[in-house]
Amino acid sequence: MYAARLTRRAPRTLVLRHFSTPSTSTQPKKPPSAIPPGSKPTPKVKLQPAPVKPTSLAPNPASSSSQLNKASPPKSKPVSKSPPSTISEQVTPTSSKSSWNLVETFRVTKQQTLDDLESAYEEGIFAPRPEGAGNMRKGLHTAWEMGKFYFFGITTIFSRQRDCFRIWRRTRKGDESLTRAEYRMIAVQKQDVQKVIPFFFVALILEEAIPFIAILAPGTLPSTWLLPSQSRRVSMQKDLKAADANGLAWTQVREEGKASEIFCSLFRLSTAGFNFMMNHRLTKHIRFLAQDDRLLRQEDNASHLTASQVDEALRERGFLLSQIPAGERLIRLQKWLQRTDGSPDETRRLTQVVEGH
């Protein structure tokens, strides 16, 4: 009976020992390999998504492009080609350049104004500054002198108008002894009156703009309101404009339709406005030159003129003083008078300008 119990329990004991007895092997068991023996293992590929160059893309196949789109992230556009950055790159330099130009223009204008005032003191236009005066007193003195200068300038225009009326009444009676000085005074008076009328309207509407007009646009002022340095600067600017116009080819000028503008620049006239306005200025100026030439021939053929008067006459006739030596300027003016003798029309004088006088 005891032997029968042992025989019934023996299998159970063997099973328990099989699971409870630890393994005597020291090496860990390796998992079964799927690589067959004798073959080299393939190297591992690191899958790191990166942007693909456009040249490596296939031109047409849709399957390859879809696979590349799945494998790589969407390609981002460069920042420099985006519209916002392009606009900022274009606007920022332009705005900085324009602001710099404004600052530079203000600095140059301020320096020119100071130079004009100093020149007026040196030439005796303004009374000398009081000695030992401070900056405030010097500024008040300069403002007072400028006020007196403009006041006497406007009174000069009114007094000169009375002289013009007297000359007009004398010539109306039949006395045609009109000298060149009187004729030129009448012409200058007409120009000054034409400039004073719009200036008065500006003074009535916006009187604070008068100092800015006097500083920034001296060419719009009457001749009696120009300081000597301002008058020289305006004349220099006209000479530079005439030199630029003289360097253009006349064939190109005719093709582009800029003949009126070129002639106005050569004769030191204003080029503002349309062609019919410039043609009107040219017609008036040619008539003025015809009468001035006649009076110069009557008065010893311009032999009595001073050097500054000869230079002014040559400028009015479209000459470039930089191309004429000082000793030949009177001779050149006399040749002009000789060639235009007996021709009051415009064609002869314009032809002389085109042919280089």
Give the integer Cα–Cα distance in Å for 289 and 318: 11
pTM of the entire structure?
A: 0.65
Mean confidence (pLDDT) of the chain: 76
For residues 350 and 307, what is the distance between their CA atoms, to the nearest angstrom? 25
CA–CA distances in Å: residue 84 to residues 74, 89, 192: 21, 9, 54
Residues 270 and 257: their CA atoms lie apart, in Å, by 17
Q: pLDDT at position 175, please?
A: 65
pLDDT per residue as tens digits for the range 306-350: 999 999 999 999 999 989 999 999 999 999 998 887 655 555 666
The whole-number average pLDDT for the span 95-106 is 70
- The residue with greater pLDDT, 3 or 197, is 197
Distances (CA, A) of 346 to 219, 286, 290, 291, 332: 27, 6, 9, 12, 20
- pLDDT band with cut points at 50, 70 and 90 for residue 70: very low
Which residues are CB-contacts of 59 (< 8 A; sequence separation ≥ 6)?
A: none
Average pLDDT over residues 59-70: 47
User: What is the tens place of the pLDDT at every residue in 8-40?
Assistant: 444 444 444 444 445 555 555 555 555 555 555
Residue with tokens 């005032």: 117
Highest mean pLDDT among 29-33, 54-58, 107-111, 237-241: 237-241
According to the model, what pLDDT value does residue 186 have?
93
In the chain, what is the greatest distance between 2 CA atoms, to the nearest angstrom? Answer: 180
pLDDT (tens digit per residue) in 175-201? 667 889 999 999 999 999 988 888 778
Mapping DSSP to helix (H, G, I), strand (E, B) and coil, where does residue 312 land? helix
First CA to last CA across the chain, in angstroms? 158
